[in-house]
A and B are shown apart, each in its own frame.
Chain A
Amino acid sequence: MTHLRTLGLTLGFALAACAPESENLDQTGSDPVLPEQADSLLPAMNIATPDGWGDDLPTVPAGFTITAIAEDLKIPRQTIILPNGDILVAEGSGGNAPKLRPKDIIAGLIKSQGKSPVKGGDRITLLRDEDGDGQTDLQTVFIDGLDAPYGLALIGSDLYVANQDDLVRFPYVEGATKIDSPGEKVTELPARINHHWTKAMTASPDGSRLYVGIGSNSNVGERGMAVEEDRAVIWEIDPETGRSRIFASGVRNPTDLAFNPWTNALWAVANERDELGPELVPDYLTSVQDGGFYGWPYSYWGQNVDPRIRPQRPDLVRRAIVPDYALGSHVAALGLTFVTDGGFGGRFAEGAFIGQHGSWNRSDFAGYNVVFVPFRNGRPAGDPVEFVSGFIEDGHARGRPVGVTFDAERNALLVADDVSNTVWRVAPSNPRPSLALSENRAQKTE
């Protein structure tokens, strides 16, 4: 029996010792510390199982107030604000990747522990605040019968919805609370397997082009590169004709896109690869260059070669672009919104809010918050500031942030949360004139 116990202990110890620990490296900013690749038998894992909020609320800086403006949603992901102030919330869960290995079954079971048990709504919900008090007076299903909608964009009177398999256009009339028409298909979107199914979308400022993020069909090409055609790319689509072209490639999972209001360039947040260690590879925020290649799957953060993909492509690795700004490894950035019109003022006057969902592939929790990346002259400048937090308590996730949208007109930030199935609204506690005062208070309390 002692032999057996020794054997069991040795095996357990060997496996546990293989799962590497985080060293709390500085992995934000333009020059993140990149450790050696950890080739461990078991990846570092920690799943935050869901738990309710009770009477608690997420934590926001002093001088700000957070409220739930929509509850009981069905997996809310991304939001947009319509010209009349109505909010649209895309709800759904996609992906139909076949289980190719025993690992896929086991990993699927483990990861599902961290998700809401609610079935995705495959719909868009409208939230209306009729009296301008920041509270929702009307919550109603706006468009039903969609297929895992994620990206939303309004160009003039055309509402574009990026389902997990196609791009659909709906006619929008200001003030409408429901669209019954089936919509008109603009183009198919790459949908085979859909390992990373989300189709993030944004429109160019002049409304002439749509940009759609199409994530890879694997972690690092382990389903073979044949299924990666038109994956890990950002498409540029002509909304009139539906014609598309690859705008940028090698972006493993571009989970949200937005136009930088100071430079009018396309920016994206992207999720990088797993299983190289708890502190590889940092997810990032970057400007997206036309024709740019960002490394996946052959390399990461520029020319750091990933040995797991064969045959290798040194020709592509050579021209891989280093992203602009690292957000940290496995933070799972899923939402991006730039502030406009002076933002919340003070240190939140110029920059971008980023919703970070958090991931399984670390022993410590990373992400599970909304951060603000300050910008100067249209470029990131400085460390990220945690803006909404408190999602993790006692190892449980009370929520996980996804899409973020800054509402300049009403001076508020919306955060979709796909575990508590809530949309949160963060706004200054006092109206604008006293903002400078509350800003000082916020700094003092830190």
Chain B
Amino acid sequence: MQSILLAFPVALFPAALLSDIAYLNTAEIQWSNFSSWLIAGADVFTGLLLASALLSLFFGKFRGRGRGLVCTVLVAVLFVAGVLNAFQHAKDGWHSVGTFGLVLSIACAVIAILIAIIAHWRTSHREQRS
């Protein structure tokens, strides 16, 4: 379940980063519109993932010798950065991306992929053990 939820930010945040780069290169506003929706979609699923991760943390389903906690903290950071980025992208014109938006988009993309690597490494580790 969590891996399905995680699939969305992993796909959508880097996609938003690419469309941000396209906007900054072309000043074609539609790229910034794409980013807005990609970030909004990523935020929704990151929020669900965060809720699910917190539940797992408290009810002991999220195992892995503290890695659950690391993942949860990273998801929380990702969620905050994603929401800030959504507000940034709600500005008009060039300011919808700007330096801050680009930094946030890079951060979101990197953190999302990092979470996936940590989560996936844990799963493969467990598979090897079994």
Contact = CB atoms under 8 A, between A and B. Distances in A.
B117 to A, nearest CB: 24
Interface stretch (A56-64, A246-254, A305-313, A409-417): A305-313
A308 B33 CA distance: 15
Name which of B28, B84, B93 has the most chain A CB atoms within 10 A of its CB: B93
Interface string A322-342: 000000000000000000000
B93 A222 contact: yes
Contact of B91 (A15, A218, A308): A308
Interface string A1-25: 0000001000100110000000000
A309 B36 CA distance: 18
Interface stretch (A70-78, A96-104, A347-355, A429-437): A96-104
Name which of B27, B80, B84, B94 has the most chain A CB atoms within 10 A of its CB: B94
Contact of A309 (B83, B86, B93): B93
Contact of A220 (B36, B84, B88, B93): B93
Given A7-B80, A41-B84, A308 B93 contact: yes
Interface in B67-112: 76, 80, 83-84, 86-96
Given A101-B37, A102-B36, A224-B28, A11 B92 contact: no
Interface in B32-54: 32-33, 36-37, 40
A14 to B, nearest CB: 8
A42 interface: yes
B53 to A, nearest CB: 12
B76 A7 contact: yes
B27 A310 contact: yes
Contact of B94 (A14, A106, A309): A309
Nearest to B96: A222
B64 to A, nearest CB: 20
A136 interface: no
A345 interface: no
A341 B51 CA distance: 70
Interface SS, B side: helix
Contact of A218 (B30, B86, B87, B92): B92
Contacts of B28: 224
B124 to A, nearest CB: 30
B35 to A, nearest CB: 9
A102 B93 contact: no
B7 interface: no
Given A15-B87, A224-B28, A311-B27, A100 B33 contact: yes
A393 interface: no
B93 A101 contact: no
Contact of B40 (A11, A102, A223, A275): A102
A221 interface: yes
Interface in B1-60: 27-30, 32-33, 36-37, 40
Given A11-B83, A222-B29, A224-B29, A102 B90 contact: yes
A308 B92 contact: yes
Contact of B93 (A7, A11, A14, A310): A310
Name which of B28, B29, B32, B80 has the most chain A CB atoms within 10 A of its CB: B29
Nearest to B98: A39
A219 interface: yes
Contacts of B87: 15, 41-42
B41 to A, nearest CB: 9
A39 B95 contact: yes
Contacts of A308: 91-95
A13 to B, nearest CB: 13
Contacts of A297: 93
Contacts of B83: 11
Please list the 3 inter-chain residue pairs (A to B) with the smallest Cβ-Cβ separation, ordered nearest first.
Answer: A308-B93, A103-B90, A222-B92
Interface of B: 27-30, 32-33, 36-37, 40, 76, 80, 83-84, 86-96
Interface of A: 7, 11, 14-15, 39, 41-42, 100-103, 106, 218-224, 275, 297, 307-311
13 contacts: A7-B80, A11-B80, A15-B87, A39-B95, A101-B36, A101-B90, A102-B37, A219-B92, A220-B92, A221-B93, A297-B93, A309-B93, A309-B94
